[in-house]
Amino acid sequence: MPKFLSLSLKTPFNASPMQLSKTLASIAISAVLLSVPFSTIAKVYNAEEYVHPVSPAKEHAKLSFVIAKQLQYQHYRQMVLDDNLSSKVFDAFLKSLDPNRTFFLAEDIKKFEKFRFLIDNNFRRGELENAFDAFNLYQKRHAERLAYTMNLLENDYSKLDFSIEEEIIIKRDELPWPANKEEQDKLTRQQLKNVIISFKLAGKDDKEIQELLIKRYKNQINRIKQTNNEDAFRIYINALAESYDPHTQYFSPRVSENFDIQMSLSLEGIGAMLQAEDGYTKVKRLVPAGPAEKAGQLKAGDRIVGVGQGVDGDIIDVIGWRLDDVVQLIRGKKGTTVRLELIPQKAKDEHKTKTIQIVRNTVKLEEQAAKKEIIEITENGQKKKIGVIDIPAFYIDFKAAQAGDPNYKSTTRDVKKLVSELKQENIDGLIIDLRNNGGGSLQEVNTLVGLFIESGPTVQVKAADGRIAQLNDESEEVNYQGPLAVLVNRLSASASEIFAGAIQDYNRGLIIGNQTFGKGTVQALQQLEQGQIKLTHAKFYRVSGDSTQNLGVIPDLIFPALYDKDDIGESSLPEALPWDQVKNVEHTNFPTVSSIFPALKSKHEKRVVSDPDFQYIQETVARIDKKKDQKTLSLNFKTRQKEYKESRQEQLEIENKRRIAKGDKPFKNIKELDDEDDILGLNDEHEDKEEDKDKKDSDSYTLLLESAHILVDYIQLQPANLVHK
C-alpha cells in the first residue's frame, strides 16, 4: 500500500459508517492530488490577503488644516473653502484613485456621495476619516481586480476566447462606474484580453505572455501590500492642492527629498522629470544637457513600463508602481547604466515597446550652455548664412556671480558672446532655437530680450492681491539688430514663452514652430513641519497685456505638431488657470512686417510640398492624429491582426515614399524598417560622420532647416525701407 494511504488509515475500528465514508473520501482526494504534477494544482488568489486598512497619523490632522489654510489665503486663485470647492476636491480625489473608472462600483460611489459636501468642514477640523475610508475601499477593490486577473491568468488563460466579436472602450474616464461585480468582471476580462492581444501582436507567445503578466500583477499586489498612511494622505491632500491649479502640490518627506535633488540638478541619474499618470510613469520633460537629453532616445510624453540595471540586467515591470519607487530604480551612481522599456509618445507601432539604455551622470551647468552653428541657404541664386543659437535653458551660476567671478556663466553672457562670433562670420540672419526649453531664470530672460531691443519692459508679473510689477531691460545697448526668428515648440515653456512673447510684441522678429506650453504661472516652495508645499502665487503677462498662461505663444508660421497638445501642455492639465489679459504697457515697436506673412506662408507651403522629410513629418503626424480619435478596440484577434498589418503597411509606405524621393533604397518589408530602427536606437557609438547624417535626417533638423529657409524669405520680402544693421 502506498505510504500516503497507510498514513491516512488511522480511523478507529469502532468508527461510524459516516466517519468511515469521510475518511475514504479524504483518501480518494489525496490520491488524486498526489497523482498529478504540482504545477497543475490551481492556485486561488484572495484579495483579502493583500489588503491592510490604513489610518491617519496624528500629525496628518494638523497638517491638513495648515495646508488648507495656506491654500485659501496664499494661492493666486483665492478660492474659498466651501461646498463648491468641496465638490471639486471630491471628484479630483476619486479621479486620482480610479481615473479610468474600473475599480469602484456604482454602489461605492453612491455611498461616497454623502462625503461630497463635507470635505471643506473636514479640512477645517483636521478630520481625515472619510477620506481614509474611501482610500481603504479603493485598496480593497483594486486588490479584488488584481486577484480576479491573476485567477484568469493562472487558471483560465486557455479559456480566454479571442475569436468572438467584442470591443473595449479605450477611455472610460467619463463613463459610469461598473453597476455590479458581473459587469466589472466582464470589464476586467476585456482589459486582460486587450493586453494579451497587444503582446501577441508584438510577437510574444502565450507562455511568455502568461509569465510576464503574472509577474506584472504580482508586483502590483506587492505595491498594495506596501501602501502606508502617508500614501493615502498625499493622494488626498493633493486632490485639494491640485483643485487650485495643476502646479500646486504637496510633497511628503520622501517625495520632497526627490524634488530637492531634481531641482538642484545634482541627481546622479538620467536627468528626466517624471510624473504618474493612469498607472504609468510618464516623462514630463528632460533636463537640458542631462544624460537622457544627450542620448536623444527618451522623449517627453514617453511612458516607462520597465526598468533594468546594467546592460543585461532583467527588466522589472513597473506598471502600477508608485512614482517614488520608480524614481529609486532609475536613480543610481554616476557611470552606471540603466535600461528603460518605453511606450513612445509618438509610437509608430503602438503594440511594440522600445528598450533604450542611458549611462547615469550628473548634470553640469556648463553643459547646459547655449551653442551656435551656421546653416547656408541658397535661395533665388543667392547664398545666405543663417546663424543658429540653441538655448536649452535660462541658466545662471548664482554662486559664481555673487562671489564676483568675472567669468560666471549665464544665458545672456553666453548668447552675447555667440552673437558677436556669428556677426564676425557675416551672418545674414539669426535663429534663436528655444525648442524643448522649459524655462529657468526670470532675470536671464529679461536681460536676454535686452540683447535684441533698446531699453523697455519685457514682462509683467501679477500677484494674488492684484498688484502688477513689470521687469524692464535698462540697457540701451542692442547687441544684434539684424533679421531675427525664434523657433519654439510645445515644450517651450515659462521663460521661453516670455522671450518669444516679447519678441513678437515688439515686432522684433518672426516666431516659428508650434503653440508653446502655456506655463504662465509662478510657484514658490514653503516648508511644512512634514514635507513642503509648492504653491502658485503669481502670473505672467506679456507687454501686450496678454497672459502666456494656458494659451502660450501662437507662432506667426505654424509647423506640424510633433507633440500632441491634448496630451502635453498647460491646456491638457486639469484646473489650469485660464488665459486672460491685463492692461498693456507702453513700449517702442519695431516697424510691423505682418503684411508679408501671407507671402511667407505661401512660399513655405510651396517649398515643403517637394521636401520629402517635411512631407514625412506631416504624414506621420496625420496618421497618429487619426489613431488618436479611435474610441474602441476590437478584442477579436484576427480583426486586430488585420488592422495591425494595415497600419504597419501604411507606416512602411510613408517611410519608403521619403526614401525614394531622397534617392535611398526603399525597405523591402516591415522587418527591414524595424531592424533599421533598432540599429539607430541601440548603437551609441556612431562615427562623427554618421552622427552628422543622423542629425540631418532627424525631424528636429528638418524643422530647423525649414526655419532657416523661412528667415531667408523674410529677409528677401521685407520692405526696402526697413534696414537691419
Q: What is the pLDDT of residues 34-62, one digit of tens each?
A: 333 334 445 788 888 888 999 999 999 99
Banded pLDDT at 325 (limits 50, 70, 90): confident
Let me know: does 146 contact 221? Beta carbons within 8 Å.
yes
**3-class SS at 96?**
helix
Inter-residue long-range contacts of 53-56, CB under 8 Å, 24+ positions, other chains counted: 53/132, 53/136, 53/139, 54/132, 54/135, 54/136, 54/139, 54/227, 54/228, 54/229, 54/231, 54/232, 55/132, 55/229, 56/128, 56/129, 56/132, 56/229, 56/232, 56/233
Say what the pTM is: 0.85
Lowest mean pLDDT among 40-54, 145-159, 206-220, 462-476: 40-54
Let me know: does 496 contact 511? Beta carbons within 8 Å.
no
* 26 pLDDT more than 90: no
Let me know: does 265 contact 288? Beta carbons within 8 Å.
no
The grid coordinates of residue 263 equal 531641482
pLDDT digits (tens, 9 = 90+) for 437-483: 999 899 999 999 999 999 999 999 999 999 999 999 998 899 999 99
Half-sphere exposure of 348 (CA within 13 A, CB side): 17
* 257 pLDDT more than 80: no
Please give the residue that has the higher pLDDT: either 267 or 670. 670
Average pLDDT over residues 138-151: 96
Query: Which pLDDT belongs to residue 295?
Result: 83
Share above pLDDT 90 across residues of the chain, in percent, rounded to a whole number = 64
* 581 pLDDT more than 80: yes
Please give the residue that has the higher pLDDT: either 483 or 563. 483
The grid coordinates of residue 679 equal 540599429
Residue 89's nearest CA partner among 104, 59, 73, 67 is: 67
Please give the residue that has the higher pLDDT: either 81 or 693. 81
Lowest mean pLDDT among 161-165, 270-274, 276-280, 655-659: 276-280
Question: How far apart, in Å, are the Cα atoms of 291 and each of 242, 274, 426, 458?
Answer: 31, 15, 34, 33
Q: Catalytic amino acids? A: 494, 505, 519
Residue 200's nearest CA partner among 652, 709, 635, 650 is: 635
**3-class SS at 519?**
coil
Inter-residue long-range contacts of 40-48, CB under 8 Å, 24+ positions, other chains counted: 42/154, 42/155, 43/154, 43/155, 44/151, 44/155, 45/146, 45/147, 45/148, 45/150, 45/151, 45/154, 46/147, 47/140, 47/143, 47/144, 47/146, 47/147, 48/143
Please give the residue that has the higher pLDDT: either 325 or 579. 579
Share above pLDDT 70 across residues of the chain, in percent, rounded to a whole number = 87
Let me know: does 488 contact 511? Beta carbons within 8 Å.
yes
Mean pLDDT, the chain, rounded, equals 86
Banded pLDDT at 686 (limits 50, 70, 90): very low
Query: Which pLDDT belongs to residue 681?
Result: 46
Q: Which residues contact 318 (CB under 8 A, 6 or more apart)?
A: 219, 281, 304, 305, 306, 307, 325, 326, 329
Query: Which pLDDT belongs to residue 82?
Result: 96
Query: Which pLDDT belongs to residue 333?
Result: 87
* 300 pLDDT more than 80: yes
Query: Which pLDDT belongs to residue 722?
Result: 56
Dihedral sign computed on CA atoms, order 88, 93, 99, 100 = negative
**Distance separating the N- and C-terminal Cα atoms of the chain:** 107
The grid coordinates of residue 264 equal 538642484
Let me know: does 515 contact 553? Beta carbons within 8 Å.
yes
Of the ranges 111-120, 291-300, 691-700, the best mean pLDDT one: 111-120
Banded pLDDT at 31 (limits 50, 70, 90): very low
Banded pLDDT at 365 (limits 50, 70, 90): low
Of the ranges 314-318, 561-565, 615-619, the best mean pLDDT one: 615-619
Distance CA 622, CA 620 (A): 5
* 327 pLDDT more than 70: yes
* 688 pLDDT more than 50: no
Largest Cα–Cα distance in the chain? 121
Please give the residue that has the higher pLDDT: either 679 or 13. 679
Rg (CA), the chain: 30
The grid coordinates of residue 404 equal 564676483
